[in-house]
């Protein structure tokens, strides 16, 4: 997600849990984070640029989108893009050798594309087929490729060197990439970005302290969780249960 590095499709609960964990952790172990961010001086300059674009363009669009869009339409739009992403989830689960996740991704794609009317309704979750995002950055992590240094990409936000190289394969796994109409491709991507940004408006209230440091910690914590299939450290299991 541009400007807000928490992973594009995590649900609201997982985002809030990650933010709260970072509230507890990001100032207790600053040395560890700084070792993963040797490019901090450069990253902060890119971060300021991204924040400017977000403040004056993307965030106002997201607020307007939320204001004019009824709740059920907003959910339908989010469900539609989540359903498109199941193609990426399916391929990456296969590359990771995760047969269970391959089955759930293919099941979600089939059920939501048919009974869910092209993905507008998340019928799969209602019948117990849970969602979990997979991307090529996670695949490389499962294969043993190190994350490399933390880096802030223009417009795309926080990343790692490994995840930055993984962006292109994931883009080519989006069905919208293959639309013949170039205008339609860009329109779909724009709506996707604005919808994601609107979904994160409420989570901003959880940001505290230095915004750059906090969002870096959110990204690093979430990517560790993603690569380990959402498993939190044992110390925080009870925190998740109580949330």
Tens-place pLDDT, residues 123-171: 999 999 999 999 999 999 999 999 999 999 999 999 999 999 999 999 9
Which pair of tokens denotes residue 133? Answer: 């995002």
Q: How far is CA 8 from CA 1, 24, 29, 68, 145, in A?
A: 5, 23, 26, 22, 22
pLDDT of residue 177: 93
Q: Does 7 reside within a domain?
A: no
Q: Does 109 reside within a domain?
A: yes
Q: Does 3 reside within a domain?
A: no
Say how many domains are in the chain.
1
User: How far apart, in whole angstroms, are the C-alpha atoms of residue 41 and residue 146?
Assistant: 22
The pLDDT tens digits of the residues spanning 74-129 come to 999 999 999 999 999 999 999 999 999 999 999 999 999 999 999 999 999 999 99
39: CB partners within 8 A, 6+ apart? 149, 150, 151
Q: Does 5 reside within a domain?
A: no
Q: Does 215 reside within a domain?
A: yes
Q: Does 120 reside within a domain?
A: yes
Q: Does 141 reside within a domain?
A: yes
């Amino acid at each position: 997600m541009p400007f807000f590095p928490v992973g594009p499709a995590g649900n609201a609960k997982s985002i809030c849990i990650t933010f709260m964990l970072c509230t507890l952790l990001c100032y207790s172990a600053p040395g560890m984070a700084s070792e993963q961010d040797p490019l901090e001086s450069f990253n902060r300059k890119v971060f300021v640029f991204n924040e400017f674009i977000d403040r004056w363009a993307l965030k106002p669009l997201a607020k307007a989108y939320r204001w004019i869009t009824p709740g059920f339409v907003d959910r339908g739009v989010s469900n539609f893009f989540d359903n498109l992403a199941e193609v990426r989830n399916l391929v990456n689960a296969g590359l990771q050798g995760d047969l269970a996740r391959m089955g759930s991704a293919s099941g979600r794609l089939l059920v939501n594309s048919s009974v869910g009317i092209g993905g507008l309704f998340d019928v799969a979750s209602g019948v117990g087929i849970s969602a979990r995002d997979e991307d090529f950055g996670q695949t490389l992590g499962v294969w043993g490729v190190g994350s490399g240094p933390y880096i802030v990409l223009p417009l795309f936000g926080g990343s790692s060197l490994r995840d930055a190289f993984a962006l292109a394969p994931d883009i080519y796994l989006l069905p919208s990439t293959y639309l013949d109409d170039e205008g339609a491709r860009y329109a779909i991507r724009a709506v996707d970005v604005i919808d994601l940004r609107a979904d994160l408006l409420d989570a901003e209230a959880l940001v505290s302290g230095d915004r750059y440091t906090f969002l870096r910690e959110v990204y690093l914590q979430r990517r560790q969780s993603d690569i380990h299939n959402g498993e939190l450290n044992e110390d925080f299991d009870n925190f998740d249960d109580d949330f």
